[in-house]
Structure 1
Amino acid sequence: MTPKVLLVEDSSSLAVLYKQFLKDEPYDLLHAATGAEAKRLLERTLPSLIILDLQLPDMTGEDILEWMSSKNLHVPVIVATAHGSVDTAVTLIQKGAKDFLEKPIRADRLKTSVGIHLKQAHLENMLDDIQQQMDRQRFHDFIGGSIPMQGVYKIIDAVADTNASVFIIGESGTGKEVCANAIHQESERRDKPFIAINCGAIPKDLMESEVFGHVRGAFTGATTDRQGAASLANGGTLFLDELCEMDLEMQKKLLRFLQTSTFTPLGATKEHSVDVRIICATNRDPLKEVKEGRFREDLYYRVHVVPIQMPPLRERGQDIITLADHFLRIYAKQDKRRFETISKDAQRYLKRYDWPGNVRQLQNVIRNIVVLNDDKSLGVNHLPPEIVQVTSSSIKAIRQSSLTDLATAKTQQLEPEPPSSIVSELPTSQPGSVTDNTSVEIRPMWQVERETIQQAIDYCDGNVLNAAVLLELSPSTVYRKKQAWEAEDSAS
């Protein structure tokens, strides 16, 4: 879209001159001779930039700036002023104007100023759009604003209005069907059907009938004609979940349907033609399935036009708490329980658990807690054992890692104190030797990890890179964990 520049200038001769200066520039120049006319134009259309004369026959340029501020019209303004009103122009810049041009205005100065501020406005709009997208905490039925999910939202935005095939890949419980439905709702097909089929839940003998339908008498028990999912989804979207579970023979028939948009119901002789957008999904590695002969290579390349990788819950950071809080409030209201909040300690455990079952597992855990308890706050005592359990082998591994770090530090002629956060005591039989001791204070893993990393950072005088080397961790991992703890502390 061509940018529009509004020139507010009461002198017709100067307006003609400025138009001549800018006639070859890549934007449209609008003209208003009075303040009232400028206001009317601004109420109808919002330009990318305004060149504003300070002295107008019906009001001052300052009046227009104040009116724009009252209307929340955020458009960059270049003030045009005579020599005697330069001080006024400077004052207006302090109030938000972007620049001032002293009359008589030279052509090169006018072109340069307009060009610079149009580019700046374009960049600011781009940043606002990006920030708005990054601020999305909800998107259709998705909940969460983490960076991995923002990437998913961006792909959905880009692909929704096309007819390209989409292949959604992700672990069970990551929201593949939610993603498919979001694509449908964002597309022009939103008013047409969204039909979902789980290929892993339908016996292979029934799959063709489920997808393409059948006519009466096609097989034993087919007492009437039946429409399949392809017909039901006509004009809309057909979502084939767990596609890699589909039988190879059926994959061949599906490939032909994708290529021609035609199919023949079981037992029929006449082809049917439909307009359907195909979205597929799998929780397997499709390339591995192709390599091992369970998934047709030609079908893979036909459906793998736009891949979307759904992030597992363990990689979504604060989204875990956002989702847990959402489920807590829903089920508390549904089951008439008092739960309102999740304690900080419980949040830490929830964020540090791996969630092999992803969002579906988190939902079931919260559901179970609400059914069996009735408190105002969800605490650590409510969490199931697999989330809060710290095994003795984990403690032993941490302890051994700490001792190794200490030995490494000593070889570099450093003399750190043994981290008290890891073991309650390290008894020695002789000076310089450490013997095994089963008297270990078992503490939550997140506390051990945090204190050990913080001690390493303090020992290195705040140098995270050196601390990461001592801990044998990636510097990015240490930075990420440190930022997460600081965010938690500031929210407390």
Structure 2
Amino acid sequence: MKILIVDDETNIRELMHRYLHLDGIDSDCAENGLSAQRMLKDELYDACLIDLKMPGMDGNSLIEWIRSEGFRMPIIMVSAHGEISDAVSALKQGAQDYIVKPFDPEELVIRLKKLVEAQNLRNLVENETRNTTVDDKQIFVGESPSIRKIKDLVARIAETNSTVLITGESGTGKEVVARDIHNSSLVKGGPFVAINIGGVPENLLESELFGYEKGAFTGAANRKTGMFELASGGTLFLDEIGDMPLSLQVKILRVLQDKRITRLGGTDPMPINARIIAATNKDVEQMVREGKFREDLFYRLNVVRISIPPLRERREDIPLLAAGILRRFNRQMGHRVEGFTSEALSMLTSHDFFGNVRELENILERAVIFSDTPEIQVEDLDLRGSVSMRTHDKEKEETKIDLSDGKSLKDVEIDTIIRALHRWEGNRTRAAQELGISRRTLINKIAENNLNL
């Protein structure tokens, strides 16, 4: 970090230079605005400390020149008592902060570091936003220790054909990791076929996976190729494997063991050579203990385990993720939003994001639509509609139903479903997550009880 100190008082310049040096910060000194102009043209600085009152070119005029020349480094205005109104006008000219003489050296250093870190972060985000050489949907973004570990693991298993189980909360990017594995693997030239187990009705799931022969059942007018066949020579991604019914789990186990499938209505087994990657947002080990998931299938899938942490546990990745998402929305919508203000980035990195990357995408999509400035501002980020799961957990505790009031278990179930759907404004996926059931199960219960929601 290198700072430019601009002050006409020699003792003040030397004091600030000494304070910064003691903290390991390099600095140069200029005695007036003209000297500062020459130095700024010859040297790169991370920030400026500028005195407000100087002979010749005063602090406000220097700030105006700095911004007109396109310099973007943070500026702290240094003012004396009685000059606060002038300092406020300096903020309007482009200074980020001001400090009043006599000042606390420790406070000055803290403010300076904070501004420089914020600017460096903005520069990083804007560089990422301008980089159009990357397909954002195909790369797992992040530089936090946990994400570096995942990237290293992906690289290590790239040349194997081992089955992989990816776990993590909804919206953390499990499919993105699965695609990264595929794109780094020996079968990257083959197809990547994905199926969301929880999104397919149970009575259709087997035929989607294995396909069927013509005449296998009423309505089977033609042969259908299943997902295992479509993924031949590539990767089959079984998303939300925890929603797979027990009756089908044994058939998946047999496929993993024998590397063969038989279409519904068929008699001849066919070899398959697709790599299997499974994912779930559920605690599969607990499901095994409860008898809801076959232990032998779990061990077949869990050869290599990748656990993705929630976004709130890797906040340092939020700026890079936001930059990639912003770049994608700019491209899709034809917008040219360059980045984020420091305040907007700070608000994003402090948000809990219980919906993880998917929630971040939703917030930024709205921000890009409504932004009228080159940078996304705080007011563009509508975080009010982003409700913390902890709030809902608290609401669930507060709305527990007492069976002593004469209600049947069926009535309690219906009431619980209605309350969850109301809390999530009809969002069935979120309501199902809160209730601890699959989205398909929730839809079946809504239909079974004729709930007009």
Shorter-chain TM range is 0.5 to 0.7
For 1:82-481, what aligned pairs fall within 5 Å after superposition?
A: 140-386=138-384
Q: Distance in 2 between matches of 1:265 and 1:258?
A: 16
- How far, CA to CA, are the matches of 2:154 and 2:318 in structure 1? 22
The amino acid of 1:275's aligned partner reads N
- Contact between 2:363 and 2:383, CA under 8 Å: does it hold in 1? no
Please list every run of at least 4 consecutive aligned residues from structure 1 whose deviation after the TM superposition is greater than 6 angstroms. 387-390
Tell me which residue corresponds to 1:21. none
Deviations 1:1-34 (A, max 9, x none): xxxxxxxxxxxxxxxxxxxxxxxxxxxxxxxxxx
Q: Distance in 2 between matches of 1:150 and 1:356?
A: 22
Conserved? CA contact 1:338–1:375, under 8 Å: no
Q: CA deviation at 1:234?
A: 1.4
Secondary structure at the aligned position of 1:224 is classed as coil
Cα separation, partners in 2 of 1:213 and 1:388, compared to 1, 3 Å: closer
**Which protein shows a greater Rg?**
1
Aligned to 1:280, the other structure's residue is in SS state strand
Query: Offset of 1:200 from its aligned partner?
Result: 0.5
The Cα offsets for residues 421-448 of structure 1, whole Å up to 9 and x where unpaired, read as xxxxxxxxxxxxxxxxxxxxxxxxxxxx
Calculate the TM-score normalised by the size of structure 2.
0.54
Distance 1:295 1:313 in 2: 27
| Secondary structure, counterpart of 1:142 in structure 2 | coil
After TM superposition, give the deviation of residue 339 of structure 1 in Å.
2.2
Q: 1:45 maps to which residue?
A: none
Q: 1:309-361: per-residue Cα shift (whole Å, max 9, x none)?
A: 01211122221011112222332344344521211111111111110111111
The aligned counterpart of 1:13 is: none
Judge which range, 249-258 or 366-375, deviates more: 366-375
Select the structure with the greater relative contact order (CA < 8 A; seq sep ≥ 6): 2
Distance in 2 between the 1:341 and 1:301 partners?
A: 45
Deviation at 1:370, TM superposition (A): 1.1
Q: Secondary structure at the match of 1:308?
A: strand
SS at match of 1:293: coil
Change (3 A) 1:375 1:278: same
Measure the CA separation in 1 of the matches of 2:248 and 2:387: 46
Taking the aligned partners of 1:206 and 1:237, their CA distance within structure 2 comes to 21
Unaligned runs of 5+ in 1: 1-136, 394-492
CA gap 1:337/1:273 in 2 versus in 1, 3 angstroms: closer
Q: Could you say if the C-alpha distance between residues 377 and 388 of structure 1 is closer, same or farther in structure 2, counting changes exceeding 3 Å?
A: farther
* 2: CA distance, partners of 1:262 / 1:337: 49
Deviations 1:437-490 (A, max 9, x none): xxxxxxxxxxxxxxxxxxxxxxxxxxxxxxxxxxxxxxxxxxxxxxxxxxxxxx
Cα shift readout 1:61-111 (whole Å, capped 9, x = no counterpart)? xxxxxxxxxxxxxxxxxxxxxxxxxxxxxxxxxxxxxxxxxxxxxxxxxxx
Alpha-carbon distance in 1 for matches of 2:230, 2:253: 19
Q: Percent identity?
A: 44
Q: Counterpart in 2 of 1:51?
A: none
Aligned-pair distance for 1:179?
0.8
RMSD: 2.3
- Cα pair distance change 1:150/1:385, threshold 3 Å: closer
Tell me how far apart the structure 1 counterparts of residues 368 and 138 of structure 2 sit (CA, whole Å): 25
**Cα distance in 2 between the residues matched to 1:216 and 1:170:** 39
Work out the number of aligned pairs and report it.
Answer: 255
TM-score w.r.t. length of structure 1: 0.49
SS at match of 2:188: coil
Structure 2 CA distance, aligned partners of 1:167 and 1:385? 32
Equivalent AA in structure 2 for residue 266 of structure 1: L
Take 2:222 and 2:210, find their aligned partners in 1: how far apart are those partners? 14
Q: Work out the CA distance in 1 between the residues paired with 2:302 and 2:210.
A: 22
1:249/1:139 CA distance change after superposition, 3 Å: closer
1:194–1:233 Cα contact (<8 Å) kept: yes
> What's the secondary structure of 1:217's corresponding residue?
coil
What are the superposed Cα offsets for residues 267-310 of structure 1, whole Å, 9 maximum, x if unpaired?
Answer: 01111111121110001111111122221111111111110001
Q: Deviations over 1:225-270 (max 9, x none)?
A: 1110111111211110000101101001000010001121100111
Do 1:261 and 1:273's aligned partners in 2 also have CA atoms closer than 8 Å? yes
CA positional deviation for 1:365: 0.5
Q: Tell me the SS of whatever aligns to 1:386.
A: coil
Q: Following TM superposition, by how much is the alpha carbon of 1:159 offset from its aligned partner in structure 2, in angstroms?
A: 1.0
Cα deviation for residue 389 of structure 1 reads 11
Q: CA shift at 1:193, angstroms?
A: 1.4
